[in-house]
Amino acid sequence: MALMETHYYSFSMESNVTLNVFIPTPGSNCSISDLESNERFDYETGLPVVYLLHGAYGDAFSWLRFSNVERYAQERGIALVMASAGNSFYQNMRCRQNYKDFFTKELPVFIRNVFPVTKDPKKTFVAGFSMGGYGAWYLGLTRPDVFGKAASMSGALDIATLYDTIDPNVNVFAWEDCFGEAVENGNHLPGSPYDLFALYDKAVREGYSPKLYQACGTEDFLYKLNQDVRDKMVSRRADLTYEEGPGGHDWDFWDIYIRHILDWFLQ
């Protein structure tokens, strides 16, 4: 397997950025001439690719430090892309750090032209946990023409409810920088361009049928929020795969369910 730390100048971010890109390669237990190996390592057509998003306080190295996702991706023949997004909720920030544009416009083009990954949106996926769970659905619903499936673990998916309930004494998010006028004079997030339910409804009106995955631990502090989100999506008859199991808001849970997600992506 090949893991590459890549640095380049991003026009969206107006700064140099650091990426971690994982490309599966044949190992000692594979024969490159074997038919199955050729199918799993189809560099000419392009490998399926997952953009992995981190949570609050995280960065481009979170997945590599705390999970075994490299091994899981190697076993499944899938490429991974990891980049930092601060505590941005993957938005275009007022401070001119345009994370949404970076992850939906610039980064996929860069990756497709530099690494042996697919150009097919149906084989291009996005997944994340916590803040990154919201980010995965947000980016996937905003650009269903880029990402064929979007998966959330322990996601902060109902952003309006989260804004009303989060403890301001431990708040790590610059809400106005992320969400602008939607939070400047009260909570106007419901129905806004940041609201995942509104984004889903818009995608459906435009003829898309987003494929979504959601998982949450039964001891997670966001468990009730995730149940409510599940119920709202089921009422919309969304193409949603929902899973839950024992666990909290931690890597013990996420390291298990990222395997479920990779298998769901490749179905």
Q: Which CATH number fits domain 2-265: 3.40.50.1820, 2.40.10.10, 3.40.1110.10, 3.90.650.10?
A: 3.40.50.1820
- CA-CA distances (angstroms) from residue 82 to 21, 88, 96? 6, 15, 21
State the pLDDT at residue 96: 82
State the pLDDT at residue 95: 84
Tokens of 260: 């479920």
Query: What span, in angstroms and rounded, lies between the C-alpha atoms of 203 and 262?
Result: 24
Judge contact between 155 and 134, C-beta under 8 A: yes
- CA-CA distances (angstroms) from residue 55 to 14, 167, 191? 22, 17, 24
Q: What is the 3-state secondary structure (H, E, C) of 29-64?
A: CCCCCCHHHHHHCCCCCCECEEEEECCCCCCCCHHH
Domain residue spans of the chain: 2-265
CA-closest candidate to residue 244, choices 260, 263, 233, 232: 260
Q: What is the mean pLDDT of each run of 10 residues along the chain (267 residues)?
A: 92 95 85 58 94 97 98 97 96 92 98 97 98 98 97 97 77 85 89 97 95 98 98 98 98 98 97
Regarding pTM above 0.75, the answer is yes
CA-closest candidate to residue 82, choices 60, 66, 67: 60
State the pLDDT at residue 126: 98
CA-closest candidate to residue 53, choices 117, 114, 137: 137
Query: What span, in angstroms and rounded, lies between the C-alpha atoms of 87 and 44?
Result: 36
* Strands 2-10 and 49-53, bridge-based pairing: unpaired
State the pLDDT at residue 184: 85
